[in-house]
Amino acid sequence: MKNVYLETLGCQMNKSDTERIIGILSHFDYQKSEEQNADLVIVNTCSIRKLSEDKAYSKLGVWGKIKEQNPNLKIGICGCVAQQEKENLLKKFPYIDLVFGTHNIYELPELIQSIETKNPDGTKNRVCAIREDAVPEKDFNIVRSSGINAWLPIMEGCNNFCTYCIVPYTRGRERSREIETILKEAKQIIKEGYKEITLLGQNVDSYGKNLPDSPIYGKQDFAKLLSEIDKLEGNFRIRFTTSYPTDITDDVINVVKNSSKICECFHIPMQSGNDRILKAMNRRYTRAQYSEIVNKIRTQISDVTITSDFIAGFPSETEEEFLDTISAIKELGLDYSNTAAYSPRPKTPAGKMTDEFISKEDKKHRLAMLNETVKEASKKSNETAIGKTYEVLVEKIKEEDAKNSLKRIAEGRSRNNKVVHFQSNTARIGDFTDVKINEALVWCLKGEEIK
Ligand code: SAH
Ligand code: SF4
Ligand code: F3S
């Protein structure tokens, strides 16, 4: 057996790909290992911002140094930076053995074999495999990370072409997996004992658009998929991400509302609170339309959590337009938001608006203000939980030294995705237990277990 270590950067889609990559390699004499014992190291990269891309290069730099001492170490790079930079990576980093793109995962067995074979002249074979189109998936093992949650990709790629975003270039056009394939994987996940399934897609509401009707399930859309997974036997939760504001249908809201397994939680990136900027971003909604969908979900589903993403300092954004983002977070009562300063990406239309770039200082100042607003919003949202009783799924147990008497603290999440801490001598990872909330902090809640 040989050892492989994967370092995963970026979104849940990358985490899920890593589990598939290790699964495929497990058919070919590789086992998952720690970084220091590995014969093959691979960095699965993210390109959403320049900063994410740089993280990949610094990891490669570290491994390059290790390889000077251990020339047998094989180094690979995959994911969104690989798809974007292609052969350039072999030129830029002479110690890399393998580059493969986001559509090449199922070719790994042949690729690994090829880097393990020397050229006729004795030199090492270095390989770059990038496809522009996806190939049909194959049935391999999936080596899932431990814990209570399992990632389940329902679709890949994106057709939205928001002007700042690199994902449509690194992940290709949108394509959905068949309901039957997803249900088979979901059943396996439940059998393996996972307590939560998170359905993944760049835009889950577009699920099924490229699929023909199924002989068993008829029209394949997201509401249908959710209700079919909801029907599966077992004690588990269902989550999903990401939703596109104006694509969320009444059917989806109804399925979430009436299901006992699907959690009351929507991640709906708004990106900006200003209509001119939304248009420049090629987001297909206005502030008023976004607000309408948020209000609709809140009236239909009680105690629902709505989270978002925002970008500060999109090219040409004025200070006044930025303040519309701040007011939107407050006005809409968004529970939590991810934030980022705009980062120009290759190939994207916004990346070419160089004359209208916002200065580094202004972006920094806007981002700080955005983060402060998100913090206040999160505290406010958490305060509404005080006095309520939440069903918590336990994810971690920690021993805490509270002035020399050891306390056993359980950490988990409520259905509406709030992090909850409570003291318990009996709770185990994977348990569902009721907790009465009595304290709200900025990023988490504290409570007492009710037995
Ligand atoms: N599919 C999801 C998000 C994918 S990327 C959606 O439709 O919203 C995750 C987040 O990264 C985005 O929501 C956006 O807020 C942020 N992001 C994407 N490109 C960016 C860029 N060039 N600079 C800064 N943030 C960016
Ligand atoms: Fe990027 Fe927009 Fe697609 Fe999200 S919807 S992945 S932000 S292009
Ligand atoms: Fe990053 Fe690629 Fe995901 S760019 S956010 S890893 S789809």
H/E element holding 147?
A: none
pLDDT band at 191 (very low <50, low <70, confident <90, very high): very high
Nearest residue (by CA) to ligand 2, atom 2, is: 162
Q: Where are the beta strands (DSSP E) in 243-295?
A: 265-267
Query: Which of 27-41, 98-112, 118-132 shows the lowest per-residue confidence on average (mean pLDDT)?
Result: 118-132
User: Please, are residues 153 and 13 in contact by the beta-carbon 8 Å criterion?
Assistant: yes
d(CA 71, CA 99): 18
Give residue 329 CA to ligand 1 midpoint distance, Å. Answer: 17
pLDDT, tens digit (0-9, with 9 covering 90-100), for 333-352? 999 999 999 999 999 999 99
d(CA 10, CA 81): 10
% helix, strand, coil for the chain, step of 5: 35, 25, 40
* β-strands 74-79, 98-100 pairing: parallel
CB of 414 shorter than 6 A to ligand 1? no
pLDDT of 364 > 90? The answer is: yes
pLDDT of 130 > 90? The answer is: yes
**3-state SS record for 362-422:** HHHHHHHHHHHHHHHHHHHHHHCCCCCEEEEEEEEEEEEEECCEEEEEEEEEECCCCEEEE
User: Please, are residues 183 and 214 in contact by the beta-carbon 8 Å criterion?
Assistant: no
202 Cα nearest atom in ligand 1: 1
pLDDT of 139 > 90? The answer is: no
Give residue 144 CA to ligand 1 midpoint distance, Å. Answer: 26
pLDDT for res 229: 98
Q: Where are the beta strands (DSSP E) in 193-304?
A: 196-200, 237-241, 265-267
* Sign of the Cα pseudo-torsion (67, 71, 74, 75, in order): positive
Give residue 218 CA to ligand 3 midpoint distance, Å. Answer: 32
Residue type, 227: S
pLDDT of 401 > 80? The answer is: no
Nearest residue (by CA) to ligand 3, atom 6, is: 46
Q: What's the distance, CA 254 to chain centroid?
A: 24
What's the whole-number mean pLDDT along residues 12-23? 96
pLDDT band at 87 (very low <50, low <70, confident <90, very high): very high
Percent of the chain past pLDDT 90, that is, above it, reads 92
pLDDT band at 399 (very low <50, low <70, confident <90, very high): confident
pLDDT for res 222: 98
Give residue 192 CA to ligand 3 midpoint distance, Å. Answer: 27
SS3 32: strand
Instruction: For residue 369, give every residue at least 6 positions away whose Cβ sits within 8 Å of its Cβ, in sequence order, or none.
Output: 312, 322, 326
Instruction: Give the closest ligand to the alpha carbon of residue 51.
Output: 1
pLDDT of 392 > 90? The answer is: yes
Residue 308 pairs with which residues in a beta bridge?
A: 337
CB of 49 shorter than 6 A to ligand 3? no
The DSSP secondary-structure symbol of 264 reads S
Instruction: For residue 260, give every residue at least 6 positions away whose Cβ sits within 8 Å of its Cβ, in sequence order, or none.
Output: 230
d(CA 80, CA 132): 12
d(CA 219, CA 211): 8
Q: φ, ψ for residue 435 (rounded to 5)?
A: -130, 130
Percent of the chain past pLDDT 70, that is, above it, reads 100
pLDDT of 405 > 80? The answer is: no
171 Cα nearest atom in ligand 2: 6
pLDDT for res 355: 98
CB of 101 shorter than 6 A to ligand 1? no
Nearest residue (by CA) to ligand 3, atom 5, is: 11
CB of 165 shorter than 6 A to ligand 1? yes
343 Cα nearest atom in ligand 1: 23
Instruction: Give the closest ligand to the alpha carbon of residue 242.
Output: 1
Residues 186/187/189/195 CA torsion (nearest 10 deg): 90
SS3 168: helix
- Average pLDDT value over all residues in the chain: 96
SS3 250: helix
pLDDT for res 28: 87
Name the token pair of 331. Answer: 């006005």
pLDDT of 406 > 90? The answer is: no
Residue with tokens 């998170």: 198
pLDDT for res 123: 83
Residue 243, CA distances (Å) to 198, 248, 278, 309 in order: 13, 7, 16, 11
